[in-house]
Amino acid sequence: MKTSVLLFASFAALAASICPNKPGPEDPLSNNYRDAETVIIPNRLHEGEVKAQFETGPIDPCALVPLDAQRITPQPNKTSFEMWTFSTVNLNNISETATIVFYLGTKEALPYWAGDLSAIGVSAALTWADGTRDSFRVSALSGDEGALNLTTDGVNANGTFKSTGASFVPISARLMHGKEIGVTFKYQYPGQGLVAGRIASTAINQEPHFSCSINVTEPQSLEVMPHLGWTNLHADAYAWSEFNIDSRSFNKNMSTQHSISFHDHMWSDRPFLDSVKNWSRGNAHLNVTGFKERLESGYSIVWFQGEDHDGKIHTSSYVVLSDRPQTVCCEKGADKDKVELLILKSNATTVQLTFKLDTGGTLDLNIQKDVLITNLPDQFGRYAGKAKGNTVYEGQNYGVEGVAWFEEGSATG
């Protein structure tokens, strides 16, 4: 089944006309709100069954669906999880990257991201201009002392992971729309020193989206694969970031003014590898060469493609050319030889992607695995790399080039 959905301004105008006012930015959707809600999730595993939200369900027509809200209730047990991922890649030097993952769950449910010691934690993977890389995992204190405070308002959320020194928060009055997000990370390196950093990102000409829709004011499916929920608040964003390690034996510093950033939220009521046999997810920011008109941001691209244990392929494809109507397409449960929306091939050095566009034509992209951010041999890899390719738009061929961040992995190695 393939779905393509466009968000039209007429719907936003209708919503604005029937919903009560709330002070906020000048935006047609500024009237679509629900009161802020806060949940406190203690650092302990739930011992019974959990409920996962895979449908938005009936909603107030005057409310935006919060993309970063809690989806596993009352909280994860040992076989369920939630995680919020934030990444940056320096456009001027792709060797400088940061990936911060906030998670609820254990390694049994979330093997490549979570740790062994705590049901709540934060991990950071950093790569530096000199080609080195470092990774850190901070486990929250047990019980109420290590709780997550999660406040949702509009499409956005404020997550404070108590006792870890890490949080993600809105950083402007545009909280409701998720346009601007700040991330902080702070870790006392045992016997060494302090690791600290922050990210500030602003979305580029794109809308928050689900796997098959960008309509955040109507009921939608939240599944990208069976039993795997996924939302994407920042498909493409400009970011400023700063990280440093101040230790007794060495110091490292990273300060970037011109990075791309990505943020998504993923969850399941069963272990990740029970849903996914192999997968790839990522984003790319591409400039277009040869356009007669001036484009501020070019293409913003997000993909998620996974194979389930029945051999079926599930794909979500978000390909947006700046200032054009925005669309997200999905293809669920396709046979391997009948996949059309995204043809993806990966080898040791590159990933090749061919996107079928809803405008007719294709976008062909070759992404280099230039920077290895995280690696578990034959199981999981996280990369940054230069992207280059071509596209057919309105019957004309154009070159594209830019930068990408992505992950891929396999349950079978």
Give dist(CA 60, CA 65) in Å, integer. Answer: 9
Helix (H) or strand (E) holding 9: helix 9-18
Residue 324 makes CB contacts below 8 A (sequence gap 6+) with none
Closest residue by Cα to residue 220 from 406, 39, 371, 55: 55
pLDDT attached to residue 328: 83
- 10: Cβ contacts below 8 Å, ≥ 6 apart: none
Instruction: From 267, 285, 239, 242, select the one nearest 88 (Cα to Cα).
Output: 239
- Give bridge partners of residue 180 from the DSSP assignment: 202
CA dihedral 97, 202, 300, 13 (to 10 degrees): 160
pTM of the model: 0.88
Q: Which residues contact 153 (CB under 8 A, 6 or more apart)?
A: 33, 34, 35, 36, 37, 66, 170, 175, 176
Give pLDDT tens digits for 310-362: 999 999 999 988 766 667 899 999 999 999 999 999 999 999 999 998 877 88
Which ranges of the chain have pLDDT less than 70?
Answer: 1-35, 57-65, 154-156, 171-178, 191-192, 205-206, 248, 290-297, 323-326, 413
Phi-psi region of 224 (alpha: psi -120 to 50; beta: other; left: phi over 0): alpha
Phi-psi region of 105 (alpha: psi -120 to 50; beta: other; left: phi over 0): left
Q: Kindly state the greatest CA–CA separation across the chain.
A: 62
SS3 label, residue 188: strand
pLDDT at 31: 40
| pLDDT digits 0-9 by tens, 88-110 | 999 999 999 999 999 999 999 99
H or E element that contains 275:
helix 272-275
